[in-house]
A and B are shown apart, each in its own frame.
Chain A
Amino acid sequence: MARITFIQNDGTERVVEAEPGMTVMEAAVKNNIPGIAAECGGACACATCHVYVDDAWREKTGSPEQMEEDMLDFAFDVRPSSRLSCQIKVTDALDGLVVRIPEKQF
């Protein structure tokens, strides 16, 4: 189990438990975290599950692959810490992960 903290733009925090193997997007959707629309259902095809990974966790979550980087072109206010949460696989090493939800998804 990995505990993931989602921080909304207004500062509200929610901690959810995620099983290794699932994606951060799935953990968010399963727990009704607002702001993760995941319109395409996790196909890396829409950029509506955009999150900012907390700086302390960026190394562990890694950087986007080509397709994800391309898809981030469709996100709003993309920053160096931007990721599509459907492309971050939960592992035990990500226990404690903190991600922020952008003010606006497209």
Chain B
Amino acid sequence: MSQDVIKTDAVIVGAGPVGLFAVFELGLVDIKCHLIDILDRAGGQCTELYPEKPIYDIPGLTVVTGQELTDRLMEQIKPFGPEFHFNQRVETLERLDSGFRLTTDAGTQFECKIVVIAAGGGSFTPKRPPLAGIEQYEGTSVFYSVRKMEHFKGRDVLIVGGGDSALDWTLNLAPVAKSLTLLHRRGEFRAAPASVQKMFDLVEKGDISFKLGQVTELHGEGGKLRSVTVKGADGATFELPTEVMLPFFGLTMKLGPVADWGLNLHENLIPVDTEKFETSEKGIFAIGDINTYPGKLKLILSGFHEAALMAQQAHKYVYPDKKLIFQYTTSSTSLQKKLGVK
């Protein structure tokens, strides 16, 4: 796991629209950025929750979809060469003599002069079904992703859901598990039709079974699941022997490890001042939906404004000896050079 530490000016936690625009504002003042996001692509909620939904309150754009806005921001920040680290979540943040060290759950380490938290509603994490006692089985009998195939080898496996994750893992684990049941609340699937067809082929061959219904209770002890109660499509309940369960109910946002970084928090939000958008820790900024201040509105455009003001203060930390002269992109040749238009 000993990778080289990545040294940079700024690390932006979260690659949603506000994190992306922060690259632009920081880039204008010569601050180089790395971005870290738990998702596998840029855009945050815009691409994860509503890629096709129209947004009507981005200044100058009458209507733009979440995906389009993300694409445009990516284009806009290209001249600044931001580097992305996807599928990773920042676990720890330590203060160094000069700056900070961040470590992700993938073991990647960063050393930087400033940190910009643009984590929106927090990191996207798998939804936990609200079943009584589910916590005691997590990591032993209940998994939200497949990290090790051994957990499923020779066991009675239950997969719950009807999307691509549920179907893909049904197909992948079928040869490994002792028995495998796919449980879904209805006969229609959100997954790719080809996977659904393959799944039904396996059912036909008797390799796996598919059942309609929803899990209502878990049974077992000491973290070991024995069976689950299922409410079938007809409303009648039945018990299903289950040693391992994989529920796939999409993602939700949780503040996550940010809560342990020693910052003041208020109702899971990070209070900042409205001049620099700095947190209770010097050099750590919070912009976008994750911050709070009197009058805060959770709007993308507010996050853009916050990014611009944050960059002014960030410059003081990254270039303590340089005086920042405010310039317009319309008229400044030096800014235009940075943007690659001159």
Contact = CB atoms under 8 A, between A and B. Distances in A.
Contacts of A77: 214, 216, 231
Contacts of B161: 73
B297 interface: no
Contacts of B50: 40, 43, 45
The A interface is mostly helix, strand or loop, or mixed, namely loop
Contacts of A43: 49-50, 53
Contact of A39 (B130, B185, B253): B253
Contacts of A25: none
Contact of B252 (A46, A69, A70, A76): A46
A93 interface: no
Nearest to A37: B252
Contacts of A76: 129-130, 214
B27 interface: no
Interface of B is mostly: loop
Interface residues of A, number: 17
B267 interface: no
Interface string A79-98: 00000000000000000000
Interface in B32-49: 45, 49
Nearest to B161: A73
A73 B163 CA distance: 9
Contacts, number: 48
A26 to B, nearest CB: 16
Nearest to A77: B214
Contact of A106 (B216, B231, B249): B249
Contact of A104 (B130, B162, B249): B130
Interface of B: 45, 49-50, 53, 121, 127-130, 161-163, 184-186, 188, 190, 214, 216, 231, 249-250, 252-253
Q: Which 5 residue pairs spanning A and B have beta carbons closest together?
A: A104-B130, A45-B49, A43-B50, A74-B250, A106-B127
22 contacts: A40-B45, A43-B49, A43-B50, A45-B50, A45-B53, A46-B49, A47-B250, A69-B188, A72-B185, A73-B161, A73-B163, A73-B190, A73-B249, A74-B249, A74-B250, A76-B214, A77-B214, A77-B216, A105-B130, A106-B129, A106-B130, A106-B252
